[in-house]
Amino acid sequence: MKKLLGGMIILVLGVLGLDIGLHALISPAALQLRVARILQAQTGLQMKVEKSGFQFLPWPAFRFEGVTLARPGCRPLATAQRIQGDIAFMPLLKREISLHELKTHDVWINAAPQGQTDQAQCGWAAPMVASAAPVSAQASAGQPVQGPGSGPVLSVLSSSAPQRLRAWWKFSLDSLRMNGTRVQWGAQPDNAPAPAAVQDFGVVPATLLLDHVQVTSLQSASPWLEASGRHSGVPFSLKGHVGPWAAFLPGNAGNTAPWAFSLDGQAGKSAGERATLEGHFADVAALAGLHMSLQGQVQSGEELGHLLAVPALAHGQVGLQGLKGSLLLTEQEGAQGEGAGFLQRLRQLPSRMAPSKVKLSLARLVLPAPSGARGLWPAHEVLTGNGLQLGAPAATAPLTLDGAVQFQPETAQQAGPDPWAFQMKFASLQQAAAAWRILTGQPDTVAQGTVGVSLNAHQGDKGRLQLTGNVGLPTDVRVALVAPQLGEIVHDFDGQGQVKLTRADAPGGLSVSVDGLTFRSREASGTGTGAVQHLLHPHPALNMTLNFSTLDGTALWDGWRHLQDAPQSALGKPADASASPAAAGPAGSESAGSGKPWRRFLQDWTATGHLAAATLKLPEVTYQDVVADFRSGDGRLVIDPLSARLDGTPLSGSLALQLGPQGVHFDLKAAPLAVPAGLVLEGLGWGDLVQGTLRLAGQVSGQGHDVRQAVGSLNGTMGFGVVDGRLDGHLLAPLAGPAAGLVKVKPTLGLRCLAARTSFHEGAGSLNGLVLQAGHFLVTGKGTFAPGGAVDFSLQPHIRVAGTQISAPVQLKGTWDRPEISLSGGSAAGAAGMNGGPSGGVHQLDIGGAPAETDHCRDGLQAALGMVPPLSPAHEGGHGGQEGLLRALGIGSGK
């Protein structure tokens, strides 16, 4: 019994002595320092540890707490609350630290840091800032040296230990377990980890939650990997074999054995997204010689979008259903990454891969209208692709894409037009991939390279599309299109042209041109050319020439107006916008938002062009020999000259627009010009008071964010005139004075002329020489108006009938919207009351005397426009009594 007790005491003392001795020899600080040096040598990252410890009883183990990884002088890239490992006892006797399992807890990784002082030097892929000392230098300094083919060597003993004990300590790891890991994009952390909440990518920083990661059998040739986690609420899992981890170590850089991997993954709440990834690296330490195959299926694009952080898929803007197939990728021969760092090579790896075999099928693809495509894309419709097939059996074999596409209503409650069946064929998969890399500007690509392509599509017997040529740099393709409809505006289109894309040495060096363009449709026919220089530059340059043989502006305007009147609920606009007349016009509520496409064009593009039309039709007006030259840039547009012929009369003028903080400043010169009166009045929100051709002569300028502000800031002088048009009869009824309540008017009256000349100053106007003649009715006068809408006119209506002229002076005051008309004082000589009242009574009409022989229309047009357009003869008066007088007005007397 005493011997047993003595033996136990000796054993306990021996164990305690060994524990105390190991604590004296093994330094946690030395272990921490050596690990930090190896890490910095391999990645350039600095490791800081708040607390470290080592234990021998009851079993050997170490522990690091508060671990931080960062670039020198930068914010953390990763943090870990705790890292711990259990050390095998027997290997210690052989100077080897063998970890059975390394565990990490609450790890946070910032995968795409933002807000760093120097982003290029602070990210994961930043250049190496530190490296391990050469082996010879280590040996001369008495530091541990790594033998070929062995694991990493650490000096874990304190400086007080003999040199013989401090050399040749090896390090090995059998398994790794990570619990509660968060990988975050776009974070700007302090020293504390980011919140664990799952967040949507693209709106706020995104977080990938790795609930569990475990790698076992790390010392074998094929370790086993298991991982599971969530991203944006979508669960996923990954498991399979990978190559030996020792292949990444510097001592094994010369190992030529392939590093193989085989992984299976699934995602989604129903595990409907599955993928298998297999392949190998010829040299995994250099991330070189990669050959891999990917095969799988995707049932729903939304969960895949959340998982891969693709907002368009995640939010349902792009629909994807039934994707399956396989893809074989091979690293391109001669492709080399920039820099020697592992992380740099990892980042560049995708750009070095090229497909060598493709077989993909997609049951359905739904694409919404791209930004700025309104008018070119059918309103409230999406483009759908069905039964799409993409395949190439080898890198040198042709690549084919076929299927059917069509536009369909967003609600899918109505059938869309017939689908377009198509087949697209590239000369080879290898050439197609190279052309894609060139066109997308990926690094490590040659400057030139093309692939032959052909496309044939048809919409039954209604439409066809043919494309032949070469795609890449340079691109040179011939396009021919016949379509029953293009967007919402163009119908029965038939056109063709040559499209070229070239690269220039100048900044933004892509140029695209269209030559030999010929087209005809229900709305227009003609020829043209165009080119855009510096396509990728912030300020591209456009040059174009279009020569129309016919241009139906009326049809184009009706299509555009129909597009503007389409329900706006899908765009987020309320259905009942302002109901006021001023806001009803298409330009009446134009905002100054810089997001308007035409504003972005004027600000960002430099453009010159020549437009010509042998015949141009607009509502109520048909022009001949139209010519317009334009130039724009730096927010300015100038159209000069602007010329045409109308009924044999030459027209000319110019227009200049300049964007500014106070809206759009414009300067219009007319010498003279002619436009549809209905379009002008509609833009002003005045309805259809006058229909016909509105001629303008003079010069005015102004500025504003909308039409109301622009009209309220006018300066200059402008004469206007309308000949042989139509007039709203309700406009003349109040001018009948005392007889206004006794007559009924026709909806419209024939307008022989309307003319006046107006001087503007800051929106206030003085109108002189007003002449309006409709049938037997003639109004002359003058007046003023203010920017707020107040008016003050002195008018002299005349009725010419039966050889007699009847008139009554009228005063028009109030506002444009609510005019107040009253008889003004005047001569009562020869006046008689309509109802037998005394001369000079309330109902004043001047009756008597033959009308003057002066043609007021000719005089008024000459004064307003400086010329007299072709004018119909004046209406001759008839005979009759008072009823005849009323009928001569174009109005009725009661019945």
Three-state SS string over 130-164 comes to CCCCCHHHHHHCCCCCCCCCCCCECCCECCCCCHH
β-strands 170-173, 259-267 pairing? unpaired
pLDDT, averaged per 10 consecutive residues of the chain (895 residues), comes to 60 54 58 68 77 76 86 85 82 72 88 58 60 39 42 47 51 84 66 38 60 88 91 88 79 71 88 88 84 90 81 83 92 62 72 90 87 64 89 93 87 71 92 78 58 90 91 89 84 93 71 93 94 84 94 82 53 36 37 62 90 91 94 92 91 93 91 89 79 92 88 91 86 58 64 92 90 85 87 82 68 80 54 38 52 78 89 63 50 46
pLDDT of residue 451: 84
Distance (Å, whole) CA 34 – CA 523: 78
Exposed, middle or buried: residue 847 (CB in 10 Å: 0-12, 13-18, 19+)?
Answer: middle
Distance (Å, whole) CA 95 – CA 752: 113
The reported pTM is 0.67
Of 390, 388, 377, whose CA–CA distance to 426 is shortest?
390
* Chain centroid to CA 54: 57
Q: Is residue 745 within 8 Å of residue 816, measured between CB atoms?
A: no
pLDDT of residue 530: 94
Of 393, 371, 414, 563, whose CA–CA distance to 486 is shortest?
563
- The pair of three-digit structure tokens given for residue 60, joined into one six-digit string: 């050997």
**Which are the contacts of 306, defined by CB distance < 8 A and separation ≥ 6?**
231, 232, 233, 234, 313, 314
pLDDT of residue 876: 58
Distance (Å, whole) CA 856 – CA 865: 14
- The pair of three-digit structure tokens given for residue 474, joined into one six-digit string: 């340079």
pLDDT of residue 442: 58
Distance (Å, whole) CA 408 – CA 414: 8
- The pair of three-digit structure tokens given for residue 340, joined into one six-digit string: 């020697």
pLDDT of residue 493: 93
Question: Can you name the residues that pair with 293 across neighbouring β-strands?
Answer: 278, 328
Question: Can you name the residues that pair with 880 across neighbouring β-strands?
Answer: none
Distance (Å, whole) CA 128 – CA 672: 72
The DSSP secondary structure of 477-515, one letter per residue, reads EEEEEEEEEETTTEEEEEEEEEEEEEE-SSTT-EEEEEE
- The pair of three-digit structure tokens given for residue 273, joined into one six-digit string: 């997204």
Distance (Å, whole) CA 274 – CA 299: 9
- The pair of three-digit structure tokens given for residue 650, joined into one six-digit string: 């030459």
Three-class DSSP category at 38: helix
